[in-house]
Amino acid sequence: MSPLSTLTPLAVKEKSPVRNRIRGGARYAPTLATLGLFIAMFAVGAGMYPSFLSGQVFLNLFIDNTFLIVLAVGMTFVILTGGIDLSVGAVVALSMMVSATLLQQGWNPAAVVFLVLLIGGGLGLLMGLIIQYFDIQPFIVTLAGMFLARGLCYVISLDSIPVTEGFFTAMAQAQIPLPGDLFVSPGVLLALGIVAAAFYILHHTRFGRTVYAIGGNEHSAMLMGLPVTKTKVLVYALSGFCSAIAGILFSFYSLSGYSLAAQGMELDAIAAVVIGGTLLTGGTGYVLGSVVGVLVLGIVQTFIAYDGTLSSWWTKIVIGALLLVFILLQRLFARKTA
Amino acid sequence: MKSLLKNRLAWPVIALAALLLLNQIFRPDFLALRMQDGHLYGSLIDIMRNGAPTILIALGMTLVIAARGIDLSVGAIVAIAGAGSCAYIAASPEPASPVTAAMAVLIAVLAGLLLGVWNGFLVSTIGVQPIIATLVLMTAGRGIAQLITDGQIISVSNDHYKAIGAGYLFTLPVSILITAAVFTLATVLTRRTALGTLIEAVGINPVASRLAGLRSRNIIWIVYIFSAFCAAIAGLMISSNVTAADANNAGLYIEMDAILAVVIGGTSLAGGRYTLVGTVVGAFIIQTLTTTVYTLGIPPEVTLVFKALVVLTVCLLQAPKARNLLRSLKAAPKPAAKEAAKEKVAI
């Protein structure tokens, strides 16, 4: 392979810009396909239900899914390195339980938020350390983390705890007005801020490039002298941290803590990331794609809510079908670029 | 002693023995078996009976993992199999006849085989990574099961059907006998023929095994079909035990338990060498853990925390890196075993 390419450097050099552009296009293709699907679904919705075509319906997709967006951001980092984090749903529930309990006991909301973020980040860090230093598969370690976090929820309380504290209820009811009689919740701004930060970290920092490099080929990344160990541990800490933020956002949204909340949310997050065009083998994908993936999941639910005759289980079937379509698309693109 | 400890089955067996011993200390009649009305009773029988669906699914999962795959859809298949058979019984004109029960079983098994073919198709022919290929069915499957039951819990009353999960034969629960039969079948099929070696070959290096002239596609297909078959049987057991199909909760998280059982049993998630006996021991460990929680009087809320800690301990004990660390801390592995036992008591 290598002697050939050194023999024909000119030909390769002439071809490479075009080929690069094609490759670059193919790299964006799954994400663009998701975006196209989202627009198409919105258009179909607008055709079927006149009230669908409003800015608020679009904004509600964000308002109702702030926590999922933040989860998907954390999950994107983990999946880009070729790992997986099954604990996120349970960490969301744990964050909700901890904040609801402490607020009930009269803690300062700022202290509660700080503690919750510390717990989430700490759990993620712990899982990352175990994965990295004892060389146990992420699947198993984060599964144990899921049991641990969910179990701690049960230990705290089996009942639903309402949140009546001032700051949290204010955040739940606050509406930030936008031009044209539209509004968003403060959580949306926070979630979008996190998306922007993640975008910056992934594409404009050394850490982000190392994440991609590890997903592409961990061994090569190590041989290049990149800080593989540190990055892999940090990625799980980041995902745990994002889960804690998502837990707080979910608390704002539901104003309660319940040990059975957010069950199966890890699957929604993984589905959003995959639908958004990130390969589960790592190395390829975009955080913005994951956001579009969340919006697609959200619009499926909006559709079913608008229709009224379809039962809730159709959500699961449609999400499964969408997953299938997207992995088939990815196979197609992967073959073309190969 | 040293060579014994090096055996891959050693740690799982030690962990199981430690757990059983712990139970025996806290409840002296724990290991006792007694006969009553011609049936065998005892905690050990209970552990085996309650663990039967997990063991079954873990057996199928072992072969899938050995072929470098993973099957996340088994929980959904459990729900679909239960929903399909109960819906058939509930809708049939003679809901109590043995023929209806037999047909229901047939429907569940056929549904399982079909779903296995689907998974195998995605993984082997299309070439999708196993974890996502089965994630599709994991997500959609529960929706399909709810579609079959129309979102309701379908109760059935058919004594023949009930026998699968709650009946007794030759003094033993039928579910244990079914599990033993499937275990024997899997062992004979994979260890008395070349199949087991072929599965390991595919798991160790798919490309090399294909180049060696092995039809790895067919092997992959076989393991997913077997896994789905096991899940369907487990689905029958679960629904027949409670004589109802609950599309939402039947087999919920059973895929996680099954994968844990496989890993605790000593089969690597990276594929390759596998041990069915280890998997059964692993599944017993998980089931005994649940029983231990009750024996020790630990509040049920703490079960999951306890489970997480034990799972982590067992995985750490098996991890080569952790073992090396222990070995360098204490020269011989023997004190390490004692330490582990102590740690468990402390938990």
Residue B325 reports pLDDT greater than 70: yes
Look at phi and psi of residue A85 and say left if phi exceeds 0, alpha if psi is from -120 to 50, else beta: beta
| Alpha-carbon Rg for chain A in angstroms | 21
| Alpha-carbon Rg for chain B in angstroms | 21
Write down the pTM of the prediction. 0.80
Using a CB-CB cut-off of 8 Å, the residues of chain B touching A275 are none
Query: CA of A205 to nearest chain B CA: how many angstroms apart?
Result: 30
Closest chain A residue to B145 measured between Cα atoms?
A313
Q: Among A81-95, A214-228, B51-65, B129-143, where is mean pLDDT lowest?
A: B129-143
Structure tokens at A38: 């989202």
Instruction: Report which DSSP code applies to B71.
Output: -
For residues B74 and B230, give the distance between their C-alpha atoms in angstroms, rounded to a whole number: 9
Say yes or no for a CB contact (<8 Å) between A323 and B135: yes
For residues B168 and B35, give the distance between their C-alpha atoms in angstroms, rounded to a whole number: 12
Domain boundaries, chain A: 32-331
Residue A8 reports pLDDT greater than 80: no
Alpha helices in chain B (DSSP H): 2-6, 10-26, 43-66, 74-91, 98-120, 130-149, 159-166, 174-191, 195-204, 206-211, 216-241, 254-264, 276-295, 303-318, 320-329, 333-346
Identify the pLDDT of residue A18. 47
Q: Among A112-116, A152-156, B23-27, B107-111, where is mean pLDDT lowest?
A: B23-27
For residues B138 and A270, give the distance between their C-alpha atoms in angstroms, rounded to a whole number: 12
Nearest in space to B164 (alpha carbons), one of B154, B177, B152: B177
Closest chain B residue to A313 measured between Cα atoms?
B143
Query: CA of B92 to nearest chain A CA: how many angstroms apart?
Result: 25
DSSP code per residue over A167-223: HHHHHHH--EEETTTEEE-HHHHHHHHHHHHHHHHHHHSHHHHHHHHHHH-HHHHHH
Interface check B253 vs A, CB under 8 A: no
Residue B343 reports pLDDT greater than 70: no
**Nearest by CB: B143 against A154, A313, A324:** A313
Q: Among A221-225, B141-145, B159-163, where is mean pLDDT lowest?
A: B159-163
Q: What percent of chain B has pLDDT over 70?
A: 91
Residue B82 reports pLDDT greater than 60: yes
Using a CB-CB cut-off of 8 Å, the residues of chain B touching A143 are 256, 259-260, 311
Rounded to the nearest integer, the mean pLDDT of chain A is 83
Q: Each residue of A211-220: pLDDT tens digit?
A: 999 988 888 8
Q: How many CB atoms lie within 10 A of CB B199?
A: 28
What average pLDDT does this structure show over B59-73? 88
Residue A245 reports pLDDT greater than 90: yes
Closest chain A residue to B315 measured between Cα atoms?
A136
Residue A198 reports pLDDT greater than 90: yes
Say yes or no for a CB contact (<8 Å) between A327 and B309: no
Task: Assign A123 a pLDDT band (cuts: 50, 70, 90).
Answer: very high
Cα dihedral sign, A112-A115-A117-A120: negative
Using a CB-CB cut-off of 8 Å, the residues of chain B touching A324 are 122, 136, 140
Considering the four listed CATH numbers 2.70.98, 1.10.238, 3.30.70, 1.10.3470, the one that applies to the domain covering A32-331 is 1.10.3470
For residues A289 and A285, give the distance between their C-alpha atoms in angstroms, rounded to a whole number: 7
Identify the pLDDT of residue A5. 43
Say yes or no for a CB contact (<8 Å) between A144 and B312: yes
CB B103 within 8 A of CB B88: yes
Residue A12 reports pLDDT greater than 50: no
C-alpha separations of B280 from A26, B238, B316 in Å: 46, 18, 20
Task: Assign A231 a pLDDT band (cuts: 50, 70, 90).
Answer: very high
For residue B103, with 0-12 CB atoms within 10 Å meaning exposed, 13-18 middle and 19 or more buried, which class applies?
A: middle
Cα dihedral sign, A95-A101-A104-A110: negative
What average pLDDT does this structure show over A311-326? 81
Q: What is the ipTM of this complex?
A: 0.73
Closest chain A residue to B138 measured between Cα atoms?
A320
Q: Which domain holds residue B233?
A: 2-346
CATH code, B58 = 1.10.3470
**Nearest by CB: B139 against A135, A151, A271:** A271
For residues A330 and A268, the model is more confident at A268
Say yes or no for a CB contact (<8 Å) between A140 and B321: no
The H or E element containing residue A150 is helix A138-156
Structure tokens at B159: 């004594």
For residues B221 and B125, give the distance between their C-alpha atoms in angstroms, rounded to a whole number: 9
For residues B89 and A67, the model is more confident at A67
Rounded to the nearest integer, the mean pLDDT of chain B is 80
Using a CB-CB cut-off of 8 Å, the residues of chain A touching B303 are 151, 154
Taken as a whole, chain A contains a residue count of 338
Q: Each residue of B243-252: pLDDT tens digit?
A: 777 777 777 7
Say yes or no for a CB contact (<8 Å) between A331 and B141: no
For residues A27 and A179, the model is more confident at A179
Task: Assign B346 a pLDDT band (cuts: 50, 70, 90).
Answer: very low
- Domains in chain B, number: 1
Residue B38 reports pLDDT greater than 70: no
Taken as a whole, chain B contains a residue count of 347
Query: CA of B52 to nearest chain A CA: how many angstroms apart?
Result: 22
For residues A168 and A111, the model is more confident at A111
Identify the pLDDT of residue A26. 62
Say yes or no for a CB contact (<8 Å) between A331 and B126: yes
For residues B35 and A233, the model is more confident at A233
What average pLDDT does this structure show over A311-333? 79
